[in-house]
Amino acid sequence: MNILDFVEKFKDEKACKEYFRDLRMKEGVVCKHCGSKKHYWLASKRQFQCSSCSFRTTLKSGTVMENSNLSVRKWFLIMQFTTSNKKK
């Protein structure tokens, strides 16, 4: 994906968060409190909530972005620039 495609696909922070949420839901979230793998998206809090113990997990929790103040979109841009290469 080139930078123009990236900007089109991830127009704003909301689009990035929705995409990342969908990826995490597909991959699965593990509760740090009880270890359950059953979660649902709590839209009002924009967090995952464990179906077993109601522990909440943020979108960035358990990822390289966890303790960062950077936005998800900035992280996506960093990853895009890091993984793209120039063909010779």
DSSP notation for 31-61: -TTT----EEEETTTTEEEETTT--EE-SST
Task: Determine contact, residues 39/29, Cβ cutoff 8 Å.
Answer: yes
Could you tell me the pTM of the whole model? 0.81
Q: How far is CA 33 from CA 7, 38, 44, 55, in A?
A: 37, 12, 21, 7
Token pair 């990342």 in the structure block, residue: 20
Two tokens at 6?
A: 């990236």
Query: Each residue of 42-76: pLDDT tens digit?
Result: 999 999 999 999 999 999 998 999 999 999 999 99
Please give the pLDDT value at position 60.
Answer: 94
